[in-house]
């Protein structure tokens, strides 16, 4: 397997999932602090109050990242840690933490890739309507400006939002994630549109305020189909399935990226969403369509598609017993070939995989080590597909494994361990899993070890 010389080998995590210190040093509440208090909302009543205690142990965590040889680390900033009420008063102690973290990363020669919003939305703004409020995009831009002014002398790489498909879909439509709303489609799509405006205004704020040349994108997710065979008709069906809004759902990449790159919603969306289609005011698409520098996405599982009798895409069901991760997500590495290929063909920008990984039942064995062969095999398969895409001309430049360490997996609490580093949540002791050593060798050999 070969990868471009300066391929970016990374790993990722997110503020609420690892930081803890939920009520320290002036941090405001987030909607996840709120949801964690709702009985039955989170598996076993877990919370992110302490999580990996990364807020206090970041120096040790950066040392471990260096031991693995990470070239880049994708972190997120907690908005209410920086601006406790979401707008207005800035919390210097919160900014100081990110200062220290960025400095530690740079000292370890690890490039920080910063996500500005990975779901810990300020509670006070939620009480003012959250993403439904017409000012929500301005609130976000105000916060982004504060962060960028403070960190952009050292940070060049930014992602505005993590997975709007999930924080809107699960957070505002099915109610499984914070803030736990079950809105009707007109409100869901109003929130969606505000989120796109927030992305656009954030890009503007980064460009205006950055002290260095910025590299900007986002980290969405969505449906990726791979063709059941390499027959041209199946490939076409998979492409069509990937880029068609077929039902009322936000689980699509192009519902996010078409407005950004093409300044329009996918043409088929209006018929599907009907009266729920967001109102696009004049000037909105110019804001949303600010030029960005890369197309990134998070990928875990996809679906095989073939051309049906009429050429129309048809789902090929997974075979009984097909490989599953602990989350019961299907092991479908093909998506790391076809996903990058389809998105690169459609938008023509460099590709980054901002998340990919699997949860397993890991524990410290009697020999004191954490053996996680399934994670190694999973990642190997996915990375080999990515390498194949690169060999076929896709300009994919980086890969961030999810996650650097076990952490608070949202509504699933600590049930799922996604980390390369095992965390004992009772003692906060960290142990590098076999996969961490394996990934270290992959990085050191620039993928030849795959
Ligand atoms: C993604 C999230 C990330 C993590 C992984 C498993 O949807 O972005 O925070 O929970 O799933």
C-alpha 141 – ligand 1 centre gap (Å) = 24
406 C-alpha vs ligand 1 centroid, how far in Å?
12
What count of other Cβ atoms lies within 10 Å of the Cβ of residue 61?
Answer: 23
Q: How far is CA 181 from CA 82, 187, 301, 412, in A?
A: 25, 10, 25, 18
Across the chain, how many H-helices and E-strands are there? 16, 13
| Rounded mean pLDDT, 386-398 | 98
Atom of ligand 1 nearest to the CA of 327: 6
CA of 211 to the centre of ligand 1 (A): 30
Which helix (H) or strand (E) segment holds residue 161: the answer is strand 157-162
Mean pLDDT of 27-47: 98
- pLDDT at residue 1, as a whole number: 73
What's the whole-number mean pLDDT along residues 373-383? 98
Q: What tens digit of pLDDT does each residue of 154-165 get? A: 999 999 999 999
Q: Is residue 284 in contact with ligand 1, taking CB distance under 6 Å?
A: no
Q: For residue 225, how far is its CA from the centre of ligand 1 (angstroms)?
A: 19
**Residue 362 CA to its chain's centroid (Å):** 23
Identify the residue whose C-alpha is closest to ligand 1 atom 10: 409
CATH architecture assignment, domain 8-444: Alpha-Beta Barrel (3.20)
pTM of the model: 0.98
Show Cβ contacts of residue 281 under 8 Å, excluding neighbours closer than 6 positions: none
Q: How far apart are CA 11 and CA 432, in angstroms?
A: 14
Q: Which residues of 235-245 are buried (b: 16+ CB within 10 A; e: fewer)?
A: bebbbbbbbbb
* Euclidean distance between CA atoms 61 and 66, whole angstroms: 9
Catalytically annotated residue among 19, 24, 163, 187:
163
- The enclosing H or E element of 262 equals helix 254-262
Indicate the average pLDDT of the chain. 98
Distance, in Å, from the CA atom of 159 to the CA atom of 435, rounded to the nearest integer, reads 26
Domain boundaries, the chain: 8-444
* Catalytic residue flag (residue 163): yes
Mean pLDDT value across residues 62-90: 99
Spatial separation of the C-alpha atoms in residues 281 and 287, rounded to whole Å: 11
pLDDT of residue 115: 99
Residue 162 CB–ligand 1 contact under 6 Å: yes
Does residue 402's CB lie within 6 angstroms of at least one atom of ligand 1?
A: yes
442 within 8 A of 71, measured Cβ to Cβ? no
HEC secondary structure over 66-133 = HHHCCCEEEEECCHHHHCCCCCCCCCHHHHHHHHHHHHHHHHCCCEEEEEEECCCCEHHHHCCCHHHC
409 touches ligand 1 (CB under 6 Å): yes
Q: Are 416 and 430 in contact (CB under 8 A)?
A: no
Please say if 355 is a catalytic residue: yes
Tokens of 157: 């790489």
194 CB under 6 A from ligand 1? no
What values do phi and psi take at 337, rounded to 5? -95, -55
Question: Is 163 close to ligand 1, i.e. is its CB under 6 Å away?
Answer: yes
The C-alpha atoms of residue 123 and residue 254 are separated, in whole angstroms, by 29
Tell me the pLDDT tens digit for each residue of 203-261. 999 999 999 999 999 999 999 999 999 999 999 999 999 999 999 999 999 999 999 99
Each residue of 273-297: pLDDT tens digit? 999 999 999 999 999 999 999 999 9
Q: Which of 404, 446, 157, 392 is nearest to 296 (CA)?
A: 157
pLDDT for 213 equals 97
């Amino acid at each position: 397997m070969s990868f471009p010389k300066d391929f970016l080998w990374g790993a990722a995590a997110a503020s609420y999932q690892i930081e803890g210190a939920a009520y320290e040093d002036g941090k405001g509440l987030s909607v996840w602090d709120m949801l964690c208090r709702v009985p039955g909302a989170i598996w076993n009543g877990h919370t992110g109050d302490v999580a990996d205690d990364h807020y206090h142990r970041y120096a040790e965590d950066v040392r471990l990242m260096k031991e693995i040889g990470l070239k880049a680390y994708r972190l997120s900033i907690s908005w209410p840690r920086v601006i406790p009420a979401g707008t207005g008063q800035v919390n210097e102690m919160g900014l100081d933490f990110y200062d220290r973290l960025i400095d530690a990363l740079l000292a370890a020669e690890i490039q920080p890739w910063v996500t500005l919003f990975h779901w810990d939305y300020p509670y006070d703004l939620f009480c003012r309507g959250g993403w439904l409020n017409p000012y929500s995009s301005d609130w976000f831009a105000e916060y982004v400006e504060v962060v960028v002014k403070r960190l952009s002398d050292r940070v060049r790489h930014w992602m505005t939002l993590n997975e709007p498909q999930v924080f809107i879909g699960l957070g505002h439509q099915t109610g499984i994630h914070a803030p736990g709303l079950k809105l009707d489609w007109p409100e869901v799509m109003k929130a969606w549109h505000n989120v796109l405006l927030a992305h656009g205004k954030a890009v503007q704020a980064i460009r205006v305020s950055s002290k260095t040349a910025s590299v900007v994108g986002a980290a969405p997710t969505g449906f990726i189909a791979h063709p059941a065979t390499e027959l041209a008709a199946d490939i076409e069906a998979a492409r069509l399935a990937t880029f068609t809004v077929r039902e009322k759902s936000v689980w699509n990449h192009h519902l996010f990226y078409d407005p950004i790159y093409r300044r329009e919603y996918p043409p088929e969306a209006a018929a599907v969403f009907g009266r729920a289609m967001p109102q696009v005011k004049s000037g909105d698409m110019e804001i949303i369509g600010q030029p960005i520098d890369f197309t990134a996405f998070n990928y875990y599982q996809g679906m095989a598609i073939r051309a049906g009798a009429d050429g129309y895409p048809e789902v090929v069901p997974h075979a009984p017993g097909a490989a599953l991760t602990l989350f019961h997500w299907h092991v479908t590495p093909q998506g790391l070939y076809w996903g990058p290929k389809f998105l690169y063909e459609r938008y023509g920008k460099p590709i980054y995989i901002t998340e990919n990984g699997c949860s397993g039942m890991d524990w410290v064995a009697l020999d004191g080590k954490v053996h996680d062969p399934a994670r190694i095999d999973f990642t190997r398969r996915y990375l080999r597909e990515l390498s194949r895409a690169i060999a076929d001309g896709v300009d994919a430049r980086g890969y961030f494994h999810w996650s650097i360490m076990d952490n608070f997996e949202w509504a699933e609490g600590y049930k799922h361990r996604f980390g390369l580093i095992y965390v004992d949540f009772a003692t906060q002791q960290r142990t590098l899993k076999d996969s961490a050593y394996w990934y270290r060798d992959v990085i050191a050999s620039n993928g030849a070890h795959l």
